[in-house]
Chains A and B, each alone.
Chain A
Amino acid sequence: MLTVAAMLLIALWVVAQLRGLFRTMSESHPFAPGNALRVQRVGWAVILTEPVRAVMGSGANAFAQANFVGDGLRFVTDINLNLGTIFAGFVILVIAEVFRAGTRLDEDQSLTI
C-alpha cells in the first residue's frame, strides 16, 4: 500500500515537472533555464521507477498466488523488467542534454546585439 502511494507521488511529481515544461513552451520560451533539469528529472524517474514497478508487480502476483486459489488461476511471479522503458528513460536524458545546449545557445543569442 505504501509503495503504491509512493509510486503515485512520483507520478504526480513527474506531472508537475511536465507542467513546468509545457508552461514555458506555451510562453514561446522552450529553452528556459530550468527545462533541462526538468527533462533530466523525468528521465531518471522513468529509469529508476521501472525496476520498482517490476518488483512490485512480481510481489503482488506472489501475494495473490499465496492467498488465492482457483481452477485455471495462474499468477506470473517473474520479475518482468521492461528494457524498452529503461531505454526510453535514457533517450529522455539525451533530450535533456539537447535542452541544456539549447539553453546555452539561447543565452548567447539573447546577448548578441
Chain B
Amino acid sequence: MSIRVKLDYLLVDRRITLTELAERIGITIANLSVLKTNKAKAIRFSTLDALCRELKCQPGDLLEWISDDQPAAR
C-alpha cells in the first residue's frame, strides 16, 4: 500500500497512548491498531476528523504517500 499512516510517530510526539486515543475518538483499540500498522484499506472522513481533532494535526501530518522506490520520510 502506498499510503502510510504516521500514527505511531504522532502518538509518541503527542505523548498519548493508543488506548487513550481510542477512548477519546470512540474507536476500538483493534481498529486503531489496524490503522497504526498500515493494514487498513480505507479511512472514513469522520475517523480522520476525530484523529486530527484529538492529535491537533492536519491530515497531511497523519498520511504520507510513498512511491514504490523511495523510503518513508521521518
Residues of A within 8 A of B (CB): 107-108, 111-113
Contacts and interface: CB of A to CB of B under 8 A. Distances in A.
A107 B34 CA distance: 13
Interface string B41-64: 111100100000000000000000
Contact of B27 (A107, A111, A113): A113
A111 B40 CA distance: 5
- Measured as residues with beta carbon below 8 angstroms from the partner, the interface class of chain B is 10 to 19
Contacts of B32: 113
Contacts of B34: 111, 113
A111 B43 CA distance: 8
Interface of B: 27, 31-32, 34-35, 39-44, 47
Dominant secondary structure at the A interface: mixed
B39 A112 contact: no
A113 B32 CA distance: 8
Contacts of B42: 108, 111-113
15 contacts: A107-B41, A108-B42, A111-B39, A111-B42, A112-B40, A112-B41, A112-B42, A112-B44, A113-B27, A113-B31, A113-B34, A113-B35, A113-B40, A113-B42, A113-B47
